[in-house]
Homo-oligomer: A and B are copies of this chain.
Amino acid sequence: MRNVTKDNITDVFLGYMSNETNPRMREVMSSLVRHLHDFARETQLTHEEWRTGIAFLEGCAAIETEDRHEFVLASDVLGLSSLVDMLHSSPESTSSSVLGPFHVSGAPPLAVGGDMKRHYGGPVLLAEGVVRDTDGNPISGATIDIWQTAPNGLYASQDQEQDTYSFHGLQTLGADGRYAFTTVKPVEYTVPSDGPVGDILRACGRHPWRPSHLHYIVEAEGFRPLVTEIFPDDDPYLDQDTVFGVRSDLVMTYVEKPASEFPEGMELSGKVEGTFLHVSFDVTLSAK
């Protein structure tokens, strides 16, 4: 097309794709470019704003490493990661939530009733529940890959003071589908805000905080894997999670109980002093 205009350029783009283009590629690219062009037309995007956008991408590129995923973080704070997640969440299962960048594969086994707290101080949290199918029957042999922040608000992968699998554990469940472990109550924390994504948050008057949560990947043969998070209902950032991860069925009460009610058969090292927190959270998986 030798007469490209601001009104026909989207159609010109679509016309450039060959007939052999993979149909899904065509569908995704067509939608992407239509929205990109509509965005520019609607906002009458200026050259200077375009340069700011390019500088943002180049700024992300400049700090991108194996341990710093600024493009993923951008997707997270713009809500894209959570949206993709929700689009493919099964309505019959427990809600899924974002995986985030802090999961480390290969966590060590954690017995049912085991302790992730180790030598760390802080409020003891006992988390337990049953993994069920959509009919309510326990699933035998499910696994729960559990991870969370240390009391300093850092994940093991961010913190040279912690070993690789600190606050990571893989629990394999029996025929009753029951899981249980003790840990330190997770704390709220900030996503990295010293890069270009932090600049966007500040420019929009937003904070970088996420509410505290336990993070699970629940898997069982014949069922769709589930990435999910459990939030306490008294967290100050519950209504303003900067990565949009909170779903209403994932918000639970962490009940404070006297030490005398701490159950038998847990592996917690040392004794509970005064009180402990207890959360009961059942997980429903949908079949594949």
Which residues of chain A have a CB within 8 Å of any CB of chain B?
Answer: 1-6, 9-10, 12-13, 16-22, 25-29, 31-33, 35-47, 49-50, 54, 57-58, 60-62, 64, 69, 71-72, 75, 78-88, 200, 203-206, 231, 238-242, 244-248, 251
A13 pairs with B78, CB closer than 8 A = yes
Contact of A9 among B26, B28, B58, B86 (CB under 8 A): B86
B39 pairs with A84, CB closer than 8 A = no
B240 pairs with A16, CB closer than 8 A = yes
Tell me how many chains of this kind the complex includes.
2
Q: Contacts of A206 on B, CB cut-off 8 Å?
A: 16-18
A190 to B286, CA, bound (A): 50
- Whole-angstrom distance between the Cβ of A248 and the nearest chain B Cβ: 4
In the complex formed, the residue of B with least CB distance to A44 is: B87
Given contact pairs A13-B78, A22-B203, A205-B21, A87 touches B45 in the complex (Cβ within 8 A): yes
B35 pairs with A38, CB closer than 8 A = yes
In the complex formed, the residue of B with least CB distance to A46 is: B88
B83 pairs with A204, CB closer than 8 A = no
Contact of A80 among B4, B17, B40, B69 (CB under 8 A): B40
B72 pairs with A2, CB closer than 8 A = no
A191 to B251, CA, bound (A): 51
